[in-house]
């Protein structure tokens, strides 16, 4: 089968499109013919290599996918050949204490399709049968492929971790990335007032068009904290949703209200940052990390998406052969929404 893979870690030149053996269906696996996949920053981290993560090379990249079931293992149930599905890329053991508590993304051996096993940038992919969900009827395969990782991550951050309630204010840094835009859409769905930031006026105007209440170009102003405080009438925001990391971390402690919450799911600008410990305790802040979602997060997110007929924000649809250009676009932060890869 055709697949986009790496033979070694490194830059975008390490990604090649070529032949890769068809996946073998394990007892509890299903194999789907991938129609569409979608890029995530995770693909870049995996391509570059992560400490402690050993991959069998060549390795097929890609975590998000949607397609049609082609094979089912003997120990699967409820899924039939021909079903149209999306892949939840979170891999959990199902039997550790976290899994038994229903917190699959806290699993002791948590892994991700495209990291812990061959990914979705391929004509076929095998995944545990528990990891496929029916494709929402109102979404095309391209749209459905854009959904799983970013939207479950945003759902868990806002709803499960930060406990967002209608009427609260949410600040989302760096609007344009998949998780940030998913956060904007889901926060609006939940009745929040949303402030977004970017260095691009074009991205801000597009964010406004899909529901952002306030937009701030942080490069065009001297005082981001003061601007956010002005928007919130001096209070600060209830929740900061951060997928940026080092570049935004210290700002978070100046813009969140007393008793507010800061939730972080990614570090696209770096791993190390300074924390204002005085603001943390004096303002009684709650700082939370969040990784992807539990099965229940995925279920709730899909229900909300289906009920609202919500469509993920998509930057572009590219072919598998264009994978290097698409990865470069994401790495440069040029995208607005999910970059989808049409596979078959
Ligand atoms: Zn587990």
Q: What distance in angstroms lies between residue 149's CA and the mean position of ligand 1's atoms?
A: 19
Maximum Cα–Cα distance for the chain, whole Å? Answer: 62
Given a cut of 90, whether residue 336 has pLDDT beyond it is yes
285 and 164 assigned to the same domain: yes
Task: Kindly state whether residue 257 falls inside one of the protein's structural domains.
Answer: yes
35 and 108 assigned to the same domain: yes
Predicted pLDDT at 49: 94
Q: What distance in angstroms lies between residue 296's CA and the mean position of ligand 1's atoms?
A: 14
Q: What distance in angstroms lies between residue 98's CA and the mean position of ligand 1's atoms?
A: 6
Token pair, residue 339, equals: 């970059």
Q: What distance in angstroms lies between residue 292's CA and the mean position of ligand 1's atoms?
A: 14
Q: What distance in angstroms lies between residue 105's CA and the mean position of ligand 1's atoms?
A: 8
170 and 275 assigned to the same domain: yes
Q: Are 20 and 60 in contact (CB under 8 A)?
A: yes
User: What number is the average pLDDT over the span 179-183?
Assistant: 97
Q: What distance in angstroms lies between residue 184's CA and the mean position of ligand 1's atoms?
A: 30
Neighbours of ion ligand 1 (CB under 5 A): 92-93, 96, 99, 107
Q: What distance in angstroms lies between residue 106's CA and the mean position of ligand 1's atoms?
A: 7
Given a cut of 90, whether residue 90 has pLDDT beyond it is yes
pLDDT band at 250 (very low <50, low <70, confident <90, very high): very high
Q: What distance in angstroms lies between residue 110's CA and the mean position of ligand 1's atoms?
A: 7
47 and 170 assigned to the same domain: no
Number of domains observed in the structure of the chain: 2
Token pair, residue 230, equals: 């002005």
Q: What distance in angstroms lies between residue 140's CA and the mean position of ligand 1's atoms?
A: 32
Given a cut of 90, whether residue 304 has pLDDT beyond it is yes
20 and 107 assigned to the same domain: yes
CA 265, 116, 119, 268: dihedral to nearest 10 degrees?
Answer: 30
Asked, as a colleague might, if the bond just before 58 is cis with ω within 30 of 0, I would say yes
Q: What distance in angstroms lies between residue 128's CA and the mean position of ligand 1's atoms?
A: 14
Given a cut of 90, whether residue 52 has pLDDT beyond it is no
Q: What distance in angstroms lies between residue 25's CA and the mean position of ligand 1's atoms?
A: 22
What mean pLDDT, rounded, does the chain reach?
97
110 and 177 assigned to the same domain: no
Task: Kindly state whether residue 307 falls inside one of the protein's structural domains.
Answer: no
| SS3 sequence of the chain | CEEEEECCCCCHHHEEEEECCCCCCCCCEEEEEEEEEECCHHHHHHHHCCCCCCCCCCEECCCEEEEEEEEECCCCCCCCCCCEEEECCEECCCCCHHHHCCCHHHCCCCEEECCCECCCCECEEEEEHHHEEECCCCCCHHHHHCCHHHHHHHHHHHHHHCCCCCCCEEEECCECEHHHHHHHHHHHHCCCEEEEEECCHHHHHHHHHCCCCEEEECCCCCCHHHHHHHHCCCCCEEEEEECCCHHHHHHHHHHEEEEEEEEECCCCCCCCCCCCHHHHHHCCCEEEECCCCCHHHHHHHHHHHHHHCCCCCEEEEEEHHHHHHHHHHHHCCCCCCEEEEECC
Q: What distance in angstroms lies between residue 102's CA and the mean position of ligand 1's atoms?
A: 9
| CA dist list (Å): 184 to 64, 91, 159, 189 | 20, 26, 12, 9
Q: What distance in angstroms lies between residue 271's CA and the mean position of ligand 1's atoms?
A: 26
167 and 250 assigned to the same domain: yes
Q: What distance in angstroms lies between residue 33's CA and the mean position of ligand 1's atoms?
A: 27
Token pair, residue 101, equals: 């508590």
Closest CA to 289 of 331, 245, 333, 255: 245
Q: What distance in angstroms lies between residue 190's CA and the mean position of ligand 1's atoms?
A: 30
Give the tens place of pLDDT for each residue, 168-178.
Answer: 999 999 999 99
Task: Kindly state whether residue 304 falls inside one of the protein's structural domains.
Answer: no
Token pair, residue 16, equals: 């090649």
Q: What distance in angstroms lies between residue 139's CA and the mean position of ligand 1's atoms?
A: 31
Given a cut of 90, whether residue 87 has pLDDT beyond it is yes
Q: Are 316 and 338 in contact (CB under 8 A)?
A: no
Q: What distance in angstroms lies between residue 58's CA and the mean position of ligand 1's atoms?
A: 27
How far is it, in rounded angstroms, from Cα 290 to Cα 303?
21
325 and 267 assigned to the same domain: no
320 and 227 assigned to the same domain: no
How far is it, in rounded angstroms, from Cα 201 to Cα 217?
7
CATH at 285: 3.40.50.720
Predicted pLDDT at 314: 96
278 and 188 assigned to the same domain: yes
55 and 90 assigned to the same domain: yes
Predicted pLDDT at 205: 98
pLDDT band at 1 (very low <50, low <70, confident <90, very high): very high
Q: What distance in angstroms lies between residue 37's CA and the mean position of ligand 1's atoms?
A: 26
Given a cut of 90, whether residue 51 has pLDDT beyond it is no
Predicted pLDDT at 50: 83
Task: Kindly state whether residue 302 falls inside one of the protein's structural domains.
Answer: no
Give the tens place of pLDDT for each residue, 132-152.
Answer: 999 999 999 999 999 999 999
| CA dist list (Å): 242 to 17, 139, 154, 177, 344 | 33, 27, 10, 11, 34
| CA dist list (Å): 65 to 53, 247, 339 | 22, 30, 12
Task: Kindly state whether residue 17 falls inside one of the protein's structural domains.
Answer: yes
Task: Kindly state whether residue 273 falls inside one of the protein's structural domains.
Answer: yes
How far is it, in rounded angstroms, from Cα 115 to Cα 124?
16
Q: What distance in angstroms lies between residue 99's CA and the mean position of ligand 1's atoms?
A: 4
**Residue numbers of the domain that contains 51:** 2-147+312-342
Predicted pLDDT at 270: 85
pLDDT band at 267 (very low <50, low <70, confident <90, very high): confident
Q: What distance in angstroms lies between residue 153's CA and the mean position of ligand 1's atoms?
A: 18
70 and 130 assigned to the same domain: yes
Task: Kindly state whether residue 8 falls inside one of the protein's structural domains.
Answer: yes
CATH at 90: 3.90.180.10
């Amino acid at each position: 089968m055709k697949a986009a893979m790496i033979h070694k870690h490194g830059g975008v030149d390490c990604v090649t499109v070529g032949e890769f053996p068809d996946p073998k269906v394990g007892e509890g696996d299903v194999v789907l013919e991938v129609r569409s996949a979608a890029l995530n920053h995770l693909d870049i981290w995996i391509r570059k290599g992560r400490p402690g993560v050993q991959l069998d090379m060549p390795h097929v990249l890609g975590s998000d996918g949607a397609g049609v079931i082609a094979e089912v293992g003997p120990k699967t149930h409820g899924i039939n050949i021909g079903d149209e599905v999306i892949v939840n890329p979170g891999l959990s053991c199902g039997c550790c204490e976290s899994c038994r508590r229903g917190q699959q993304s806290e699993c002791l051996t948590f892994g991700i399709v495209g990291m812990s096993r061959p990914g979705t940038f391929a004509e076929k992919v095998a995944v545990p049968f528990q990891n496929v969900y029916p494709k929402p009827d109102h979404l095309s395969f391209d749209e459905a492929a854009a959904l799983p990782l970013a939207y479950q991550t945003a759902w868990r951050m806002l709803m499960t971790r930060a406990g967002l309630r209608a009427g609260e204010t949410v600040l989302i840094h760096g609007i344009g990335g998949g998780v940030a835009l998913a956060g904007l859409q889901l926060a609006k769905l939940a009745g929040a007032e949303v402030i977004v930031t970017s260095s691009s006026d074009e991205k801000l105007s597009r964010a406004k068009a899909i529901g952002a209440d306030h937009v701030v170009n942080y490069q065009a102003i001297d005082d981001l904290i003061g601007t956010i405080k002005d928007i919130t009438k001096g209070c600060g925001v209830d929740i900061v949703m951060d997928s940026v990391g080092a570049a935004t971390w210290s700002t978070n402690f100046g813009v969140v209200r007393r008793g507010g919450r800061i939730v972080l799911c990614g570090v696209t600008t770096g791993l190390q940052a300074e924390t204002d410990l005085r603001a943390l305790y004096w303002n009684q802040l709650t700082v939370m990390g969040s990784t992807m979602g539990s099965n229940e997060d995925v279920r709730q997110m899909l229900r909300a998406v289906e009920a609202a007929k919500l469509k993920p924000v998509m930057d572009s649809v590219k072919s598998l052969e264009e994978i290097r250009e698409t990865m470069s676009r994401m790495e440069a932060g040029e995208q607005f929404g999910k970059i989808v890869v049409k596979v078959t």
